[in-house]
Amino acid sequence: MRKIGWKKMLIFVVAFFIVFQIAGSFFFYNLAIKRGPKDFLTGNADLKVSAETMEVFLNGDWRQWVEEQDYEEMKLTSRDGLELMGYYLPAKLPTNKLVILTHGYLGHAKQMGLYGQYYYEELGYNIFMPNARGHGKSGGDYYGFGWPDRLDIIDWTKYLVKQLGSDTEVVYHGLSMGAATVLMTSGEEELPGQVKAIIADSPYQSVYQLFAYQMDRMFHLPAFPLLDNMSVLTKARAGYSLKEADALNAVKKANVPILYIHGNADTFVPTDMTKELYEVTKSDAELFLVDGANHGEAFVMDEGAYKAKINDFLSIHLPSIVNN
């Protein structure tokens, strides 16, 4: 009788474990990957920024600047059939310089106007701000966290170069998820030769590493095996696994110079992730850390130093683009 009892107990435990893993995979997929509102981030202490930064984000003069610009809305069909959308703004004076600005998770294209204003007004660039798949006016019922998006950015680049001319020189500048996206392009053999520099502000390494960190921090759960099961579900539903979405592996093959930027006080995407990315980058790389800056607020916390660092970086790798 005792043996039968223990067998039943074992079967119950195994069954419970399997059900928990399946249910947990769907829960976390819906929580993080499926397109839609993400209330779990509301009030997240790791995303708290300074009052100064919040004022700039919400009421900075860049917002009025964004609204006043006469953008051309561009559309592109992705390789897997999604309709993607972005905003193009030609420079005031003719130039062959173009910056593609990639936004963060749950954001949208025009939020990169915070940086676009600088490139447009001070550096004289053409600017392009795409909505990542699943964001803004772009199609998609899931978030790609940079992996499928890397091919979208490459295709946008090819499309724009075709429109603007083969002599176009392109800079990628991404924030958070957008930073991971442009880093993931860096290891692709088909990256257009017109891409001359990449600027990655607050990137993560792989999506698996990011989620493992957040699962521990927010839910006090170990990554294995729940995250591995979620990865299988993500592969089936969104076409990519959490481990293959890996910026760290990409930069080991990079040939484009990369400037890494991160806040030293970032607890949402740990600064150490960027430090390790910098250390393993194959191409020329620089690292710029901003003291006291949390996730994504380096530009506001030290705007002068941020711009000066970009100016210096670009003056080396695209010497004709900085207006003196």
pLDDT single digits (tens) 167-221: 999 999 999 999 999 999 999 999 999 999 999 999 999 999 999 999 999 888 8
Structural domain of residue 312, as residue ranges?
A: 34-206+245-317
**pLDDT tens track for 111-146:** 999 999 999 999 999 999 999 999 999 999 999 999
Residue 110 vs residues 287, 308, 319: alpha-carbon distances, Å: 26, 23, 28
Give the list of residues 6+ apart from residue 203 with CB closer than 8 angstroms, or none: 174, 176, 179, 180, 183, 247, 260, 262, 269, 273, 274, 277
Mean pLDDT computed over 43-47: 76
| pLDDT given for residue 24 in this prediction | 74
- Residue 98: name the closest of 263, 312, 314, 289 by CA: 314
**Residue 323: pLDDT band with limits 50, 70, 90:** very low
Instruction: Please answer whether residues 21 and 229 qualify as being in contact, where contact means their C-beta atoms are separated by less than 8 angstroms.
Output: yes
pLDDT tops 60 at residue 309 = yes
Does 310 reside within a domain? yes
**pLDDT tens track for 248-278:** 999 999 999 999 999 999 999 999 999 999 9
According to DSSP, the β-strands at 72-77 and 83-89 are: antiparallel
Mean pLDDT computed over 51-69: 94
| pLDDT given for residue 37 in this prediction | 84
CATH code for the domain in which residue 157 is found: 3.40.50.1820
- The 3-state secondary structure of 216-263 reads HHHHCCCCCCHHHHHHHHHHHHHCCCCCCCEHHHHHCCCCCCEEEEEE
Please give the span between the terminal C-alpha atoms of the chain, in angstroms, as a whole number: 87
Does 64 reside within a domain? yes
**pLDDT tens track for 209-250:** 999 999 999 888 899 899 999 999 999 999 999 999 999 999
Does 278 reside within a domain? yes
Average pLDDT for the chain: 92
| pLDDT given for residue 4 in this prediction | 59
Q: What percent of the chain has pLDDT over 70?
A: 93
Number of domains in the chain: 1
pLDDT tops 50 at residue 286 = yes
| pLDDT given for residue 319 in this prediction | 74
| pLDDT given for residue 322 in this prediction | 42
Helix orientation angle between 61-68 and 51-59, rounded to the nearest 10 degrees: 20
| pLDDT given for residue 265 in this prediction | 95
| pLDDT given for residue 52 in this prediction | 86
| pLDDT given for residue 3 in this prediction | 54
**Residue 46: pLDDT band with limits 50, 70, 90:** confident
Does 125 reside within a domain? yes
Does 265 reside within a domain? yes
Does 146 reside within a domain? yes
Does 56 reside within a domain? yes
Does 197 reside within a domain? yes
